[in-house]
Amino acid sequence: MSGVYIHIPFCKQACHYCDFHFSTQMGTKPQVLEAIATEIRLRKEELSDQEVKTIYFGGGTPSVLSVDEINVLINTVRTHFEVDANAEITLEGNPDDLSKEKLKALSQSPINRLSIGVQSFFDADLKLMNRAHDAKEALACIQDAKSYFNNISIDLIYGIPNATDAQWKENIATALDLGVPHISSYALTVEPKTALKHFIEQGVVPPVDDEQAQRQFMILLETLESNGFMHYETSNFAQPGFISKNNSAYWQGKPYIGIGPSAHSFDGKVRSWNVNNNMKYMRALEREEIPSEKETLSLRDRYNEYVMTGLRTQWGVSLDRIQTEFGPLYRKYLEEQAEKYIQDHLLFKDGDSLLATKSGKFLVDGIASDLFMVNLVK
């Protein structure tokens, strides 16, 4: 299984917490899209022996594209790659872009899954984050989307300053009432050089509270699981039959290619990333050159990558796979390092698998880093 990720580097406005690559200047959009189509063509040999099972439009804000522009890019992928007839094709979108008319048009395109960036159903939260939509638009968008799509995910953010646990419970209840079958939820993080970071430093916005974030994560986990959702990855919850093929493939280390400015690719051994500058990206593709850097992962790097991604999922880390792919030294090291977390009831073994407990799930990234192989053989 392999996937194609397409990064659309445009947004209407900058969210205060975001450090992804994007531009609010739409003037170069046609040229960037032409460059993206060129990159798709130039990279057709990279997945020549594999069937593409997922196409994912991320960003940025892919919903700023017209349906015709989206169709051109999907058709370009289909022209140059072997795409499964039942491929999952996801479009990330914001409520302010997804009018009823656009949703209807998208439903007549190859797009078969929507990921809607709601983040909160409270206007105060949305204003703090500088989102382009309000709560009323979010509700209307999801209700309209359900008329055209059955595979819908929404994003929600927890740990927002001044957002109470009661409000967070109401956000979750609203999502459940709307009947969306997939929820991606993330803690609000303060990234360097973002407006949010500046506002916190200036005292305009209170600091992010880690205890609040952990508490609200547990509320989310317990509420969604009690309502039939599977917690298949740290940030992702799905009703049966609605696990994202794209998300699960990424966290299970399946190969994918990333197209567009700043997009990352991974083939299991080599990671590459495109330049995160729209003009440099366009100029390189005009010369039919792919403006990327590459890093070949060592055995140790690949072990660390697998531990980091595997522990975040419901499938965990396979000890047999560790032994087979990396050798007995790595398995012994992992089991020794994991023992203290097992004793603290943050990790547990289930047959061949090492998994995070419910109380360990919020802490899983920190736990994984402690299981990394640092000073031993490469």
What are the residues facing 8 on neighbouring strands? 59
Class of domain 299-371: mainly alpha
Phi, psi of 296 (to 5 degrees): -85, 120
What pLDDT is stored for residue 209 in this prediction? 94
Q: What are phi and psi of 272, to 5 degrees?
A: -135, 160
Query: Is residue 378's pLDDT more than 50?
Result: no
Question: In the predicted model, is pLDDT for residue 234 greater than 60?
Answer: yes
Q: What integer is the mean pLDDT of 119-128?
A: 96
Assess contact for 82 and 31: CB atoms under 8 A: no
> What fold, for 2-251?
pyruvate-formate lyase- activating enzyme (3.80.30)
- C-beta separation of 120 from 139 below 8 A: no
In 3D space, the residue among 121, 199, 113 whose CA is nearest the CA of residue 161 turns out to be 199
d(CA 70, CA 111): 9
* 290 Cα distance to chain centroid: 24
How much is the mean pLDDT over the chain? 95
Cβ neighbors of 32 (< 8 A, separation 6 or more) are 9, 10, 260, 261, 278, 281, 282
* Residue 376: per-residue pLDDT: 53
Collapsing DSSP states into helix, strand and coil, what is residue 184?
Answer: strand
Q: Could you tell me the pLDDT band of residue 252, with boundaries at 50, 70 and 90?
A: confident
* Phi, psi (degrees; rounded to nearest 5) at 176: -65, -40
Instruction: Return the DSSP state at 263.
Output: -
Query: Domain-by-domain residue ranges, the chain?
Result: 2-251, 299-371
Dump pLDDT digits (tens) for 34-66. 999 999 999 999 988 899 999 999 999 999 999
Q: What average pLDDT does the segment 321-348 reach?
A: 97
What are the angstrom distances between the C-alpha of 306 and each of 20, 219, 247, 348? 24, 28, 15, 17
